[in-house]
Amino acid sequence: MHTTLAQLETRLHRVERQNRLLLALLCTTTGLALLGATKGGGNVIIADEVRAHRLSLINDKGEVVHDWAVHGGWVIEK
């Protein structure tokens, strides 16, 4: 099979265009996956230990539903 220089140049341009398209697609997919990973987690915090002198439980409106505090070694509800 004998290919001319013009045919090779045409093929090279096509392959380079396809590679740019695939690279753009890969970057877009990666960006969307990272965006989904950061938005999907919500406000969940996992910890081995939590220390506080006071704990307030709030509802979805930000209003305090229950309030606890430590006083003299006892946990009391305020």
Q: Give domain limits for the chain.
A: 5-77
Question: Does pLDDT of 6 surpass 80?
Answer: yes
The Cα 12–Cα 8 span in angstroms is 6
- Which pLDDT tens digit goes with each residue over 13-25? 999 999 999 999 9
Looking at the chain, the whole-number percentage of residues with pLDDT higher than 70 is 95
Q: Which amino acid is at 55?
A: L
